[in-house]
Amino acid sequence: MNKVNTPFALLVFTALLAVVFSSCTGTRKAVREPIKEQGAEYLMNKLKEHELKFQQFSAKFTASYEVDRKTTNVSGNLRISRDSIIWISVTPALGLEAVRFMLTPDSILFLNRLAKTYFVNNFSYINQLLNKTLDYDMVQSFLIGNDFSLYDSNSFKASVENQQYKLNTVNRMKIRRYVRRSEDDISIPLQSIWLDPVTFKVSRVMLKEAERDSRKFQANYSNFEQTDGELIPTQLEFVVETDETKIRINLEYTKVQINQEQTYLFRIPENYTEIKELKPETK
């Protein structure tokens, strides 16, 4: 196992979100006959009907992060309170917590127990850091395999590709009533969503900056398991590609629970030092 030299929260930001704008490796039920073409409205309704419904979500996870042929392995716990809190605790070795991270629609909080430092800032800091537009809704959706809930769904076009349904759209806009004061007009330049034709669960998502831009983000979802009547992906793969680099994160969820009471503790010890920016630590 390689030494963890970068906070997992930052890995999540740079890999899952840095390019907010592979073929799907997930397993699914075999479809022997060609699937019937359907309209975009029908498919979007099916997507929303079958996506994960929850108020509280929790899971243990193992994760591998690969960049420039170097791999870091960690494990930890993920907790989500729908539309309000994403809480992550990371334990790279010996069961001892190394970092804790909490994201809300307005703020980010980061605690590094190894360095005894902490970071607190507005959510807008992430957009400044990455020079990209993203929000809490996107992060939450990527982590559970749902579609974005705060963006319009009226501009998609439907097709069939490799025995899966595919939805495409350009300049998908954030619904006006959800745009915050600190945000400019938000849109997703190019987005594609692939749906399993049996379960109508999202199996793959791709986002790109522009038609000729090489930067893209892909999320693949597989190994769906039933939990409390909900079908949940337990293997997730996130790939970010740019001209300079390719980043891959693989997540595997275990002990998934839905709507179980849980806490989101985030206490900053008095002897910790505040840092003004998030950046990779040097060896």
154 burial (CB, 10 Å; 0-12 / 13-18 / 19+) is exposed
The C-alpha atoms of residue 39 and residue 156 are separated, in whole angstroms, by 9
**Dihedral of the CA atoms 12, 104, 134, 47 (nearest 10)?**
90
Residue 69 main-chain phi, psi, to 5 deg: 65, 15
CATH of 34-269, one of 3.10.620.30, 2.50.20.10, 3.40.50.300, 1.10.150.120: 2.50.20.10
The C-alpha atoms of residue 143 and residue 130 are separated, in whole angstroms, by 19
The C-alpha atoms of residue 55 and residue 76 are separated, in whole angstroms, by 21
Q: Identify the sign of the CA torsion 194, 217, 127, 92.
A: positive
* pLDDT per position as a tens digit, 171-205: 898 888 888 766 665 678 899 999 999 999 999 99
Q: Identify the sign of the CA torsion 266, 272, 277, 282.
A: negative
Using the predicted structure, report yes or no on whether residue 7 has a pLDDT greater than 70: no
* pLDDT per position as a tens digit, 114-127: 999 999 998 878 76
Q: Higher-confidence residue: 245 or 221?
A: 221
The C-alpha atoms of residue 52 and residue 189 are separated, in whole angstroms, by 25
| pLDDT tier for residue 243 given thresholds of 50, 70 and 90 | confident
The b-or-e profile of 121-150 (16+ CB within 10 A means b, else e) is bebeebbebeebbbbbbbbbbbbbbbbbbb
Using the predicted structure, report yes or no on whether residue 8 has a pLDDT greater than 50: no
Q: What is the DSSP letter of 283?
A: -
**Domain extent listing, the chain:** 34-269
